[in-house]
Amino acid sequence: MSHQPFAGTVALVTGAARPRGIGRATARRLAELGASVACLDLARPYDEAPAHRTATADDLDAVVGEIESLGRRAVAVRADVSDPEQVEAAVAAATEALGTITAVANVAGGSGPGFGLGPLVSLPHHEFRHVLDVNLVGTWLVSKACASRMIDAGVQGRICNVSSQAGKRAFPLLGAYCAAKAGVILLTQCLALELGPSGIAVNAVCPGTVDTDLINPGGLFESLLGGPAGLEAYLEREIPLRRLQRAEEIAAAICWLLSEEAAAITGEAVNTSAGQTMV
């Protein structure tokens, strides 16, 4: 990439606030590459899943401060991405503050205890729906709000959605998440077909096992595997590159897909799993 490929670009990143998260790494990298960044996050616990790890209002303010310290413009907008009115208000506020958004990173999502984790036959209905609403419906709502404004303004742009290797292969106890992330891939392709004539490209990334506070808070993932020896055995068995991915690596792939260097690419779901998934 050139030194400042996003100079003059207004970007929006959902799920931007969680420390050590993909969204936060993406927001910061976009700023480092020249963009003004609207940082969107729920920034509070989910009412339906209070135990699920989410960012705080302080985390959201902190990422905005980090971006501003780089000499870029930034704005914090709070919204539940599954709520159409909140999404519309957040995108309107971000547009008012920074200008028309032409680079969109849909990162908000996840699953976990109380948030869709468990056997499908015993999973509560509200948990299954919540996982779909946040991961899939939220991606559509944010894409819709941003793309419609690009079209109205007569400008081209790019959208990158975060799917998962779980959108390409089944994982036990993650059925709701797998269904949602598979939906993100087909949503990406449909948006690419529909928005392509307006000069808007839409792609997705499919991370594998990423060392974030969502998956591995305080080394919990390693502990569940039995410590360093268990993690080493897992890596040898599951991941050809023999390591967990870093949030910054996924952010780099997202930013490349949002850049003009990926101008010929749309409708793709790019694996960023260190070889863990190759389909």
> Each residue of 217-272: pLDDT tens digit?
888 888 989 999 999 999 999 999 999 999 999 999 999 999 999 999 999 999 99
Predicted local confidence at residue 3, as pLDDT: 82
Strand order in the sheet with 36-41: 74-78, 36-41, 10-14, 103-106, 157-162, 200-207, 269-272
**Which residues does 186 contact at the CB level (< 8 Å), separation at least 6?**
none
Q: Assess contact for 98 and 36: CB atoms under 8 A.
A: yes
CA angle 173, 178, 183 (to 5 degrees): 160
Distance CA 204, CA 267 (A): 8
Specify the amino acid at residue 255: C
Q: What is the pLDDT of residues 189-212, one digit of tens each?
A: 999 999 999 999 999 999 999 999
Active site residues: 177, 181
Residue from 209, 135, 213, 222 nearest 179 by CA: 135
For 104-158, write each residue's pLDDT tens digit.
Answer: 999 999 999 999 999 999 999 999 999 999 999 999 999 999 999 999 999 999 9
- CA torsion angle for 143, 148, 154, 157 (degrees, to 10)? 0
Start-to-end CA span in the chain (Å): 27
What's the token pair of residue 67?
Answer: 């971006």
pTM recorded for the entire structure = 0.96
- Say what percent of the chain tops pLDDT 90: 92
Q: Cβ(239)–Cβ(276) under 8 Å?
A: yes
Quote the distance between the C-alpha of residue 148 and its chain's center: 20
Per-residue model confidence as pLDDT tens digits over 10-56: 999 999 999 999 999 999 999 999 999 999 999 999 988 888 889 99
**Using CA atoms, how far apart are residues 229 and 215, in angstroms rounded to an integer?**
18
Q: Which residue has the tokens 């990423």?
A: 210
